[in-house]
Structure 1
């Protein structure tokens, strides 16, 4: 706004007793869109040239499919891209969920299984009668030889016995081959065992942490081996910090593995007999207690290892380096009284 326009605006505002801080607005100008002619559809008007539209205004039947050429089309609107309109679902209420299937009783399940087996057997017999499948050979054994092939057994028993033993050996070999084909590889066996021991599909996958406090140092090699090896076998991570007068064991892993390790620490190991008799006479009986157990967002360790410290400050430094100093505080302040 120029200076003269501003002065005129202030003068008008003073004459009309208006607020001089208000800004004068000009009249709104509506933009008139060009109307689409009635003789051309709106989707055709975008691709036709102006000359073609003018010709159609004079004679709408001037264009026939055989006479349309590139001269009639506006080639600037065409490109190499293909437009795929986004499908819009019509407004409607959500369909109701399907009815839940009824739970069958044990007798109904047995009956349904019998019907399936009968239908499968009937289909197999029909395939054999049509010649599409070879009929299964009769299983002749030495015990039912005279019942099945009585006439042949009396004529040449030696030859028939040899055939029967050969067929029995073939059936046994086919059975062994099927077992070998179904046999799992060592990697599949290991995966199946781990899935059975550590994976529980009914629970949410989470990391469980358990902190154990032992009243004395883990000086017994047998007990120390059990603590370390069971953690490795149950795929648990953490560490065992040992020092004079106290030991702390921290393990983390899946729920099933943590439960098995808890049975080891609290029930299977006899901590009274784990230490030497002279140590028990001096310092009293040994005992293991579960200080804390809970779930965490992510594990803090990558493996299980044993750490031996001389003082409490060294042990606390080990916990600080692992980022779990609060576990040390819990174990240090824990009392079984």
Structure 2
């Protein structure tokens, strides 16, 4: 058993030895082929044993910890491992920039030592500067703002000095210039008390307050002589109106309420007034009203008093009824308009505002020979405060009226409905007769009035009639009416 090899192991060992020899032969052949070619480095091919050794060398060193958890080597000695400290990319870039600057300064120094170097020529940087944020220092804009405020304050101060000089009558430049050194001293030393304040330099005759006091106390000079521009008069400020914003746009139109809504609103208002009156009576601010006694509710209201003295109670009730009737009539009389007020109210309703436009109507009447109808045309125009004219020419009698929309509505009803033009007959050609009629030729709106009070104008010829309208700048009224008349005659 001790020195003999088992029979099963002998073939395995022989196979291993054979494979090693085979690998060695192949390695020698490859080295021989590579050595015959130029440019190839002849490097020894690692055997499996050498490859395994190299792989074992590249493996990480095993970490050995002692009982206390500290790192030790194979001999048991404590060692200190080098720890990798992480850093930011920005810090790495900053270190590279510092190194680059140091290197660039060295290059520039080397260049300046050359004989052909010109200092007047600026050397361009090797690398373009980084466009970084440039923050302003703290307090920069505060200083600028303070400087602007000081300048504005000085300008305002100079204006006040000029106004004070005008009020006190000091127009000399030397008097006004006294403020400059005082302001300069105040600026240099704010804590120092000046001999005289700058606002007192205009009224004090002296270099300081002490000189004025000495002159009054010791010299006995009156104070009025040492002050300029000081009197016993009091200046009252001018009363100014409070600043109010102008109205923006036109005023909103009032809401139109229906009859049902108006009744409801009146009922609510009366209800609120009744509640307020009841509250005052409950608090004792007003006496309670007397009971409204009538002959019909006499027994129900008074009761036993009526039985005791019916004659006296009846007289008292009738007196109350007369009193209420009188109060009612007096209230109606106080609300009743006087004759002048009624006239003014009627005029306000008739007169209309024509600043935004004047409504014009042109009527053509075949005949205006009837004096009654002629009077109605003229008098109604005056009562409605209409302006215009009436031109009489054969069968083209033109009536032009100017006014507001309501005035025109009333006058249109007069001319086309109320006056019965067909009652009159007109003698035509030969023995032919026709009925009189009135037509509305044109109505519209113009900018301003062209005529004054309504007047009649008799024109024997067509040229005179047109000339009358041309003087007022409205000859197209006549042209329209006359041309329509000619067309009607041609059709007939």
Of 170, 182, 206, which residue of structure 2 is paired with 1:52? 182
Aligned to 1:27: none
Q: Quick check: 1:52–1:72 contact (8 Å CA) kept in 2?
A: no
- What residue ranges of structure 1 are gaps of 5+ in the alignment? 1-34, 83-101
Shift of 1:174: 0.8
Of 296, 313, 318, which residue of structure 1 is paired with 2:446? 296
Q: Structure 1 residues 305, 157: CA separation in 2 closer, same or farther (over 3 Å shift)? A: same
CA deviation profile, 1:96-131 (whole Å, cap 9, x unmatched):
xxxxxx999999988776665444323211211222
1:139-178 matches, cutoff 5 A: 139-178=292-331
Q: Quick check: 1:213–1:331 contact (8 Å CA) kept in 2?
A: yes
Count of matched residue positions in the alignment of Structure 1 and Structure 2: 276
Shift of 1:251: 0.8
Aligned to 1:63: 193
Aligned counterparts of 1:44 and 1:308: Cα–Cα separation in 2: 76
CA deviation profile, 1:146-203 (whole Å, cap 9, x unmatched):
1111222122222221111111111111111111111112232233334445549xx9
Higher relative contact order (CA 8 A, sep 6+): 1
Q: Quick check: 2:390–2:455 contact (8 Å CA) kept in 1?
A: yes
Aligned to 2:279: 126
Q: Quick check: 1:223–1:274 contact (8 Å CA) kept in 2?
A: no
Aligned counterparts of 2:457 and 2:257: Cα–Cα separation in 1: 57
Shift of 1:69: 4.1
Q: Structure 1 residues 300, 178: CA separation in 2 closer, same or farther (over 3 Å shift)? A: same
1:306-317 matches, cutoff 5 A: 306-317=456-467
Q: Quick check: 1:238–1:303 contact (8 Å CA) kept in 2?
A: yes
Query: Which protein has the larger Cα radius of gyration, Structure 1 or Structure 2?
Result: 2
Shift of 1:311: 3.0
* Normalised TM-score (structure 1): 0.67
Aligned to 1:18: none
Q: Quick check: 1:242–1:307 contact (8 Å CA) kept in 2?
A: yes
Aligned to 2:340: 187
Aligned counterparts of 2:300 and 2:372: Cα–Cα separation in 1: 66
Aligned counterparts of 1:148 and 1:188: Cα–Cα separation in 2: 44
- What residue ranges of structure 2 are gaps of 5+ in the alignment? 1-146, 162-177, 204-228, 230-234, 238-254
Aligned to 1:98: none
Shift of 1:296: 1.4
Shift of 1:279: 9.1
Q: Quick check: 2:469–2:475 contact (8 Å CA) kept in 1?
A: yes
SS in structure 2 of the partner of residue 60 of structure 1 = coil
Of 324, 327, 332, which residue of structure 1 is paired with 2:477? 327
Q: Structure 1 residues 280, 130: CA separation in 2 closer, same or farther (over 3 Å shift)? A: farther
Q: Structure 1 residues 58, 238: CA separation in 2 closer, same or farther (over 3 Å shift)? A: closer
1:1-337 matches, cutoff 5 A: 42=154, 46=158, 49-56=179-186, 59-63=189-193, 68-69=196-197, 73=201, 116-197=269-350, 199=352, 205-214=356-365, 216-275=366-425, 282-334=432-484, 335-336=487-488
* Normalised TM-score (structure 2): 0.47
Shift of 1:136: 1.3
Shift of 1:324: 3.0
CA deviation profile, 1:298-322 (whole Å, cap 9, x unmatched):
1122211222333334433433444
Q: CA RMSD in A?
A: 4.1
SS in structure 2 of the partner of residue 134 of structure 1 = coil
SS in structure 2 of the partner of residue 172 of structure 1 = helix
